[in-house]
């Protein structure tokens, strides 16, 4: 194996090239280094952390319990790191990842400011050639994609965008430390990011317009500081906590109740929902009676329960009504965890603008012009426009690289009607490319560190197999791909989530409102996914075509 070079020395050839130095890429790097592999990470950003490096908007935090959103591989690391909040904010999570990188000496193996723009497979010598922005190239035997699911922000196609003289920013691109205190702000979008930024800045801004298309369901996050004593108690239970998360469908601490809502009286249901609503994290969404996310009638009743909470919390009935989603039930899209979001709309400096009734006409030099109909317009005078408009999710990070496989096929073309993968990890005609975080993978819908551990651990074992058996070419079989996509469709169809317009079903910038949904995530549950991956190792990879290095026509010297 070639020697791993330092930060400044750029290798021109490497065995394993990981794209992305976020939660997944860092762990994969660590695991491959542990087995002595020749590995390098490249990242387009100037620092590590991926999602947590980029999302610096006020209020950004996760809705996984902090102690479940961490690596479990090192007891020392678990002993050393104290979480400050039950749901850590972006700066704390970024510090954690930096701490991990320093502790395990990962930085020398990462090249920053290196955006891959093209990856081309050579069937002659079974190597990928990667081209970076600026023209530099690297060759790799195996390419491992860890670019994240939500790393290509969607700026809406609105007339005049770019003409505004104030600050126009996506939540993902928020300028570090930018302070909106005393400013006139518009936030477009009320998904998880919008809900967080709106809540966080409401008190300090001079005025805020919240521009909403469809409303999104939210539930209280229940965030609080973690005391020293609580941290000690949590640490004692880490083994138990990780073991529990391994058995839950999405790797969260919450697990759907085996009891059906129809097994209990309405009184009991309401009492239970009240407890969940006032509890912590995604309990109401992920830890509820399981029929609430599978059957329309229980879902309707739960949705009405949450709608009533919104009516109680928002003073103006008309505003409350606008904030109650009409196009989907509670939990049919990812629910946003909130901390005072609804009360924001009781403030005199905040106005909700219903884009369904009055769409944006254009962005002007001084703000946003709203179309009131009948040739009438309203001008919102602004200092800042925030696009909380989501992402070209899951496939976007792959699409933006020109990926060329066997017989010059482009991944983008192969996936023009939607992605198809072999176990969410490989794509036929793209040998030696492993997508660790991508479509139809169990990692895509999970509590991220838990989900990626399964895939990375599989990949690491597979790398050992590759070394031991001198495998030079590793490709997902087309028949296995067809089987996997059918399985994913079947599993996903059991959940009401598969019926909504959300990024889980590919309804991002790729699709117009009426296009066919795409199979983006795997909702069959982490334990099932983990078992399926393990079967491959146990049975010598029946879903993949493996070739010995010596078969390559012109092995690289
Ligand atoms: P999102 O959930 O996709 O929400 C995007 C919002 O922008 C929606 O309200 C959408 O309205 C609106 N929008 C999109 N295009 C628009 C347009 N042209 N005009 C007006 N409005 C438009 O994106 P997100 O909030 O960034 O969240 C994405 C995912 O990131 C979440 O599902 C979650 O997985 C993750 N996330 C998690 C956390 C957390 O852990 N707490 C925080 C932030 C993000 P429509 O619904 O009408 O399309």
Average pLDDT value for residue range 512-516: 58
- CB neighbour list of residue 15: distance below 8 Å, 6 or more residues apart: 1, 2, 37, 38, 39, 140, 141, 142
Q: What is the pLDDT of residue 246?
A: 95
Of 223, 291, 230, 227, give the one whose Cα is nearest residue 257: 291
| Amino acid 512: pLDDT | 54
- Ligand 1 atom showing the smallest separation from residue 503 Cα: 3
What pLDDT, on the 0 to 100 scale, is given for residue 557? 40
Q: Range with the lowest mean pLDDT among 236-240, 479-483, 492-496?
A: 492-496
Q: Which atom of ligand 1 lies nearest, measured to the CA of 60?
A: 42
Dihedral, CA atoms, 506, 452, 117, 412, nearest 10 degrees?
-30
- Atom number in ligand 1 closest to CA 507: 48
365-375 residue pLDDT tens: 999 999 999 99
Nearest CA to ligand 1 atom 23: 390
DSSP 199: H
Which of ligand 1's atoms lies nearest the C-alpha of 389? 7
Query: What is the overall mean pLDDT for the chain?
Result: 94
- In the predicted model, is pLDDT for residue 484 greater than 80? yes
Nearest CA owner, ligand 1 atom 15: 389
pLDDT of residue 7: 39
What are the structural domains, with CATH classification, of the chain? 13-48+106-152+392-548 (3.50.50.60), 167-228+255-387 (no CATH)
Burial of residue 454 (CB within 10 Å: 0-12, 13-18, 19+) is buried
Residue 164 · residue 367 · CB < 8 Å: yes
Decide if 519 contacts 489 (C-beta within 8 A): yes
8 Å CB contact between 61 and 88: yes
| Protein residue whose Cα sits closest to atom 4 of ligand 1 | 191
* Alpha carbon distances (Å) from 144 to 39, 41, 140, 148, 478: 10, 9, 10, 12, 20
Residue 501's pLDDT is 83
CA-based nearest residue to 155, from 355, 393, 387: 387
Per-residue pLDDT of 303-336, as tens digits, reads 999 999 999 999 999 999 999 999 999 999 999 9
Per-residue model confidence (pLDDT) at position 5: 37
Confidence of residue 474 (pLDDT cuts 50, 70, 90): very high
Amino acid 508: pLDDT: 64
Interval 449-456 mean pLDDT: 96
Distance in Å, CA 325 to ligand 1 centroid: 14
The CA angle 273-449-17, to the nearest 5 degrees, is: 155
Identify the weakest region by mean pLDDT among 76-85, 380-389, 414-423, 515-524: 515-524
Whether residue 407 has pLDDT greater than 50: yes
Tell me which residue has its CA closest to atom 3 in ligand 1.
390
Pocket around ligand 1 at a 6 A CB cut-off: 62-63, 150, 156, 188-194, 196, 213-214, 216, 334, 337, 355, 388-391, 503
Contact 69, 35 (CB under 8 A): no
- Give me the mean pLDDT over the 122-137 stretch: 97
In this prediction, residues 461-488 reach a mean pLDDT of 98
469 Cα–ligand 1 center, Å = 45
Distance of CA 56 to the CA centre of its chain: 15
Flag whether pLDDT at 44 surpasses 90.
yes
Under 8 Å between Cβ of 434 and 144: yes
Q: Furthest-apart CA pair in the chain: how many Å?
A: 73
Closest residue CA from atom 33 of ligand 1? 192
DSSP-H helix ranges across 379-499:
396-399, 411-414, 448-468, 478-493
Instruction: Mention every residue, 6+ apart, whose C-beta is less than 8 A from residue 77.
Output: 70, 71, 100, 103
At 516, the pLDDT band (50, 70, 90 cuts) reads: low
Q: What percent of the chain has pLDDT over 70?
A: 96
Q: Hey, what are 73's tokens?
A: 């591989």
User: Could you tell me which residue, 339 or 552, shows the higher pLDDT?
Assistant: 339
- How far apart are the C-alpha atoms of 71 and 74, rounded to whole Å? 7
CA of 153 to the centre of ligand 1 (A): 10
Ligand 1 mutation target, pool 198, 213, 445, most atoms within 8 A of CB = 213
Strand-pair category, 137-145 with 433-435? parallel
Q: What is the pLDDT of residues 84-125, one digit of tens each?
A: 999 999 999 999 999 999 999 999 999 999 999 999 999 999
- Residue whose tokens read 């994240």: 148
Among 187-191, 414-418, 508-512, 540-544, which is the least confidently predicted range? 508-512
By three-state DSSP, how is residue 546 classified?
A: strand
Query: How would residue 171 be classed by pLDDT, with cut points 50, 70 and 90?
Result: very high
* Rounded CA separation 498/514 (Å): 15
Comparing CA positions, the residue from 138, 198, 151 lying closest to residue 54 is: 151
């Amino acid at each position: 194996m070639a020697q791993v070079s330092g930060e400044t020395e750029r290798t021109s050839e490497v065995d394993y090239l990981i794209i992305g130095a976020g939660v997944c890429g860092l762990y994969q790097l660590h695991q491959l280094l542990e087995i002595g592999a020749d590995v390098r990470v490249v990242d387009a950003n100037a620092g590590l952390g991926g999602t947590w490096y980029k999302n610096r908007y006020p209020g950004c935090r996760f809705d996984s319990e902090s102690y479940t959103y961490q690596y479990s591989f090192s007891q020392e690391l678990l002993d050393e790191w104290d979480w400050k909040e039950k749901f850590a904010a972006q700066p704390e999570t970024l510090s954690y990842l930096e701490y991990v990188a320093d502790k395990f000496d990962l930085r020398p193996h990462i090249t920053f400011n290196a955006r891959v723009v093209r990856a081309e497979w050579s069937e002659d010598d079974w190597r990928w050639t990667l081209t970076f922005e600026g023209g530099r190239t690297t060759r790799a035997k195996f390419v491992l994609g860890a670019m994240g699911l939500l790393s290509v922000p969607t700026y809406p196609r609105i007339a005049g965008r770019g003409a505004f003289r104030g600050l126009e920013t996506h939540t993902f691109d928020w300028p570090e430390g930018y302070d909106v205190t005393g400013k006139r702000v518009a936030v477009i979008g009320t998904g998880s990011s919008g809900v967080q930024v709106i809540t966080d800045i409401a008190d300090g801004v001079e005025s805020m317009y919240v521009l909403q298309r469809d409303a999104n369901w939210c539930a209280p996050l229940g965030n609080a500081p973690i005391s020293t004593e609580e941290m000690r108690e949590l640490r004692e239970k880490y083994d138990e906590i990780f073991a529990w998360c391994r058995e839950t469908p999405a790797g969260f601490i919450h697990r759907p109740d085996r009891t059906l809502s129809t097994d209990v009286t309405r009184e009991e249901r309401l009492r239970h929902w009240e407890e969940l609503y006032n509890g912590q994290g995604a309990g109401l969404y992920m830890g509820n009676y399981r029929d609430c996310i599978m059957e329309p009638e229980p879902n309707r009743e739960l949705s009405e329960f949450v709608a009533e909470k919104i009516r109680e919390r928002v003073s103006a009935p008309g505003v409350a009504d606008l904030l109650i989603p009409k196009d989907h039930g509670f939990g049919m899209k990812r629910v946003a965890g909130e901390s005072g979001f609804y009360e924001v709309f009781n403030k005199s400096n905040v106005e909700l603008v219903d884009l369904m009734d009055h769409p944006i006409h254009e962005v002007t030099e001084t703000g946003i012009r709203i179309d009131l109909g009948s040739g009438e317009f309203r001008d919102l005078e602004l200092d800042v426009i925030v696009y909380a408009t989501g992402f070209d999710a899951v496939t976007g990070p792959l699409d933006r690289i020109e990926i060329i496989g066997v017989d010059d096929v482009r991944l983008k073309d192969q996936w023009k009607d939607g992605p198809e993968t072999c176990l969410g990890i490989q794509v036929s005609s793209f040998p030696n490319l492993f997508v660790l975080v991508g479509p139809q993978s169990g990692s895509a819908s999970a509590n991220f560190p838990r989900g990626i551990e399964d895939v990375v651990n599989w990949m690491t074992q597979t790398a050992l197999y590759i070394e031991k058996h001198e495998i030079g070419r590793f490709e997902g079989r087309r028949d296995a791909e067809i089987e996997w996509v059918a399985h994913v469709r079947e599993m996903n169809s059991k959940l009401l989530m598969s019926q909504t317009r959300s990024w889980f079903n590919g309804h991002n910038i790729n699709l117009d409102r009426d296009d066919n949904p795409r199979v983006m995530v795997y909702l069959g549950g982490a334990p099932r996914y983990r078992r399926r991956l393990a079967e491959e190792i146990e049975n010598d990879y029946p879903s993949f075509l493996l070739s010995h290095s010596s078969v390559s026509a012109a092995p690289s010297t």
